[in-house]
């Protein structure tokens, strides 16, 4: 264990720590020594100041994503669940491998790997999925925290990691909480998007119902943007702005703004207050006069910057997005599941008005036209045809699970379909759920959801072994 720094932020004591884990877990067992290439796993241990010297049980946070680093806290209420958690636990906040300060994977890493070819890049990316992430955490538990079982709290993709943990190392977990993150088992990317694209359409309709003025504003912007197909026809792929259709607006980083990228502003529609955030982005769209809708009016620099920031993502988020549904040997390749489902739904056509927004879905054009993602394209082309991945779920083990699992299922969740969550939970032993429509997908970040789950588990006796 390497202690890198120790300090306070208002209301919290924090230790920055780092450990080494194998890049490739094949042939290695968590908790034991290993050879071969290693990577750094960074994590923070967060405690309430009054509990710094107390022997509290451990809670490890399984961050959403994929490709998500642990939260950077400003105070106990800056991420709502923390204030309640530090009353009862010493909280461990890992940066999942490849994110934050854990041997980060981004365009620079892909560029360095390019010398080994696309296959080397693709195989490298496979080592940053749930089977490796969970082995990292189990190694940490066994080597750095004395081996006692800990409590897990999974947000969104962290719920996927929870079921992987309960499948592979149930002995390491005393109890689990998940929020908006129970995957469908068996996993199938196409099935996921067949459920979530209709939800995206409903969210779009709700947005225009609330902000009807934006239907014309969005259309006026979209009408002066090229489509992905038009850029491809002009030969403007790979950052060659000289071959773009005349008048193509460029984002501050040089990426072309297409209708499809504009539609990606809906990625946040499953959170609160996302409708308001998108509404105010379009409020600043036009330069002329008082900024009212005007056909062909120049787009403001401020608008272009806001669109760039709102549609850019963490480096591993889009590259790994569809492979979180890959469990072991696949019957068929994933082959851009979201794009295939989208192609069957005319409502998401670039020519439809009012323009529909897309949610948490990645598309092939991203790896051609977005500068931060271009270095991933050779690997993505191979991964989309692969059928062999690590095993992340064991349905038989989940059926006989004895670890108490308490889940918050958000009825209107745009990203993780509530019906599919409940179907999975019906086949997981010792699982309990709370279905609510009071919150969106990010409900954990308020101050009510974790407290509710904790009280339910405490009152049922699920945490008796910890206190």
SS (H, E, C) the chain: CEEEEEEEECCEEEEEEEEEEECCCCCCCCCCCCCCCEEEEEEEEEECHHHCCCCCCEEEEECCCCCCCCCCCCCCCCCCHHHHHCCCCEEEEECCCCCCCCCCCCHHHHHHHHHHCHHHHHHHHHCCCHHHHHHHHHHHHHHHCCCCCEEEEEECHHHHHHHHHHHHCHHHEEEEEEECCCCCCCCCHHHHHHHHHHHHHHHHHHHHHHCCHHHHHHHHHHCCCCCHHHHHHHCCCCCCHHHCCCCCCECCCCCECCHHHHHHHHHHCCCCCHHHHHHHHHHCCECCCCCCCCCCCCECHHHHHHHHHHHCCCCCHHHHHHHHHCCCECCCCCCCHHHHHHCCCHHHCCCCCCCCCCCCCCCCCHHHHCCCCHHHHHHHHHHCCCCECCCCCCHHHHHCCCCCEEEEEECCCCCCCHHHHHHHHCCCCCEEEEEECCCCCCHHHCCCHHHHHHHHHHHHCCCHHHC
> Strands 150-155 and 58-62: what pairing?
parallel
User: Which residues is 38 bridged to in the sheet?
Assistant: 22
> Strands 2-9 and 12-22: what pairing?
antiparallel
Task: Give, for all 467 residues of the chain, the pLDDT tens digit.
Answer: 689 999 999 999 999 999 999 999 999 999 999 999 999 999 999 999 999 999 999 999 999 999 999 999 999 999 999 999 999 999 999 999 999 999 999 999 999 999 999 999 999 999 999 999 999 999 999 999 999 999 999 999 999 999 999 999 999 999 999 999 999 999 999 999 999 999 999 999 999 999 999 999 999 999 999 999 999 998 866 645 568 998 999 999 999 999 999 999 999 999 989 999 999 999 999 998 899 988 788 999 999 999 999 999 888 999 999 999 999 999 999 999 999 999 999 999 999 999 999 999 999 999 999 999 999 999 999 999 999 999 999 999 999 999 999 999 999 999 999 999 999 999 999 999 999 999 999 999 999 999 999 999 999 999 999 98
Cis bond before residue 449 (omega within 30° of 0): no
pLDDT of residue 2: 87
* Sign, Cα dihedral of 433, 391, 141, 170: positive
pLDDT of residue 49: 98
* Sign, Cα dihedral of 158, 161, 163, 166: negative
pLDDT of residue 238: 60
pLDDT of residue 379: 98
* Sign, Cα dihedral of 27, 33, 37, 39: positive
pLDDT of residue 313: 81
Q: 235, 420, 415, 448: which is closest to 321 by C-alpha?
A: 415
Separation of alpha carbons 244 and 258, rounded Å: 11
Q: Please, what are the domains in the chain?
A: 2-187+392-466 (3.40.50.1820), 195-383 (no CATH)
């Amino acid at each position: 264990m390497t202690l890198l720094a120790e300090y306070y932020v208002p209301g919290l004591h924090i230790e920055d720590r780092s450990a080494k884990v194998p890049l490739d877990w094949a042939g290695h067992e968590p908790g034991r020594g290993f050879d071969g290439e290693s990577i750094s796993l960074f994590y923070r241990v967060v405690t309430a100041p009054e509990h710094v010297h107390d022997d509290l049980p451990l809670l490890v946070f399984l961050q959403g994503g994929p490709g998500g680093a642990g939260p950077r806290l400003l105070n106990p209420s800056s991420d709502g669940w923390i204030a309640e958690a530090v009353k009862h636990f010493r909280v461990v906040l890992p940066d999942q491998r490849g994110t934050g300060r854990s041997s980060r994977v981004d365009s620079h890493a892909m560029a360095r790997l390019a010398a080994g070819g696309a296959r080397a890049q693709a195989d490298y990316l496979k080592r940053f999925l749930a089977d490796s992430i969970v082995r990292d955490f189990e190694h940490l538990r066994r080597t750095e925290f004395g081996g006692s079982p800990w409590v897990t709290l999974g947000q969104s993709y962290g719920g996927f990691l929870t079921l992987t943990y309960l499948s592979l190392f149930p002995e390491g977990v005393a109890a689990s909480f998940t929020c908006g993150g129970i995957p469908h088992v068996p996993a199938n990317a196409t099935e996921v998007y067949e459920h979530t694209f209709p939800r995206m359409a409903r969210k779009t309709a709700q947005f225009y119902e609330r902000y009807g003025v934006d239907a014309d504003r969005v259309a006026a912007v979209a009408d002066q943007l090229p489509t992905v197909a038009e850029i491809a026809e002009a030969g403007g792929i790979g950052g060659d702005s000289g071959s773009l259709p005349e008048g193509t607006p460029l984002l501050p980083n040089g990426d072309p703004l297409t209708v499809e990228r504009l539609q990606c502003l809906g990625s946040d529609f499953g959170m609160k207050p996302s409708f308001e955030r998108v509404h105010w982005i379009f409020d600043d769209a036009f330069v002329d006069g008082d900024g009212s809708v005007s056909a062909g009016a120049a787009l403001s620099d401020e608008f272009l910057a806001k669109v760039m920031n709102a549609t850019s993502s963490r480096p591993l988020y889009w590259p790994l997005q569809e492979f979180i549904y890959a469990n072991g040997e696949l019957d068929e390749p994933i082959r851009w599941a979201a794009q295939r489902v989208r192609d069957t739904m005319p409502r998401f056509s670039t020519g439809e008005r009012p323009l529909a927004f897309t949610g948490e879905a990645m598309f092939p054009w991203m790896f051609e036209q977005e500068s931060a993602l271009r270095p991933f394209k050779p690997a993505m082309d191979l991964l989309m045809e692969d059928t062999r991945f690590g095993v992340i779920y064991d349905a038989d083990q989940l059926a006989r699970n004895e670890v108490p699992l308490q889940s918050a299922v958000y009825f209107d969740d745009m990203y993780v379909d509530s019906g599919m969550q409940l179907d999975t939970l019906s086949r997981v032993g010792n699982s309990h759920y709370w279905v609510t429509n009071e919150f969106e997908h990010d409900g954990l970040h308020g101050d009510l959801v974790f407290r509710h789950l904790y009280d339910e588990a405490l009152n049922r006796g699920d945490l008796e072994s910890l206190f």
